[in-house]
Amino acid sequence: MDGLRVGLVGGGPWARTVHGPGLVAHPDTEVAAVWTRRPEIARELVGEFGGRAFEDLEVFLDAVDAVAFAVPPQAQGRLALHAAAAGKHLILEKPLAGTVAEARAVVDAVARAGVHSSVVLTMRYAPGVRDWLAGMPEEPAGPDTVASARWLSGSLLGGPYATSSWRAQHGALFDIGPHVIDLLDAAVGPVAEVAWARCDDPDLWRFGLVHTGGAQSTVTLSMSLPVDPSEIEFTVLGGAGRHRLAGRGADAATCYAALLDELVAAADGSGPPPALDAARGLRVQELVEAVRTAVR
């Protein structure tokens, strides 16, 4: 297969700093087309990353093999349905959609179309994180194991994402919560239930998870604390020893390149379907919603 022709949807900071540069840098992908809500932004991105700017979504889809989304969840859920129905592979942000029901519709559309999908759960593509997970027992951890995760930052107090309306509305739980829940689920075992949850000002989330093997984990999240640099730490303690992970494990560019490696291999038939696919994104969104509704 020639290089994967990718269409970029969205023109915000993440599109400009991760998706666009990552697609240009990867040897087997190219930015073939750009579509944004504001045509002048699409033309601006074309000047930076190449391809053609389109105002008609259907014509845009005809020009690509895959679509990379960098838009709010509410928009992604709707647009991803069109892209999947058109037979395009998907690079999806988290949360998948504005609601769990809409996210489930995306998963169903991907399955019907027989296309591949990858969710940008960046930490899971980091070499350091993969090494950390490889050191965990394969079986779900039992009641003798406890885990904790802490992700504290000031990202919503200033910087490129502070003006993001959906982040301002939903806060840390919807933005960084998927990364944390996904990683604990992978490290300790599938999450069986949300035991408790609490949210206090300023956007400070604390909650407890119970895993299928009996292990328990606690999480603390905020993007509205005066913390710089961000404090990110995962710890698993129990019969299998002490496992600590500090930081993200790699920068976003390295993680995005690994995501593209997997998607390209799946698309050309040389590799398996991506493990972190839309179905995985749905499961994580279900757990995020369970935390939100468990708040007392």
Residue 32, H or E segment: strand 29-35
What's the confidence (pLDDT) of residue 12?
A: 92
Amino acid at 132: W
What's the confidence (pLDDT) of residue 1?
A: 53
Question: Among residues 235, 287, 270, 242, which one has the least CA distance to residue 121?
Answer: 287
CA distance 277 to 164: 25
Q: In the chain, what are the helix, strand and coil shares in percent, each to the nearest 5? A: 45, 25, 35
Q: What order do you get walking across the sheet with 89-92 strand by strand?
A: 52-53, 29-35, 4-9, 66-69, 89-92, 117-119
Q: Could you list the pLDDT tens digit for every one of the 296 residues in the chain?
A: 579 999 999 999 999 999 999 999 999 999 999 999 999 999 999 999 999 999 999 999 999 999 999 999 999 999 999 999 999 999 999 999 999 999 999 999 999 999 999 999 999 999 999 999 999 998 999 999 999 999 999 988 887 776 777 777 778 999 999 999 999 999 999 999 999 999 998 899 999 999 999 999 999 999 999 998 999 999 999 988 999 999 998 999 999 999 999 999 999 999 999 999 999 999 999 999 999 999 98
Q: Report the SS3 class of residue 62.
A: helix
Q: Which domains does the chain have, with CATH numbers?
A: 4-121+252-276 (3.40.50.720), 127-249 (3.30.360.10)
The pTM score is 0.95
CA dihedral angle for residue 200, residue 201, residue 204, residue 208, rounded to 10 degrees? 0
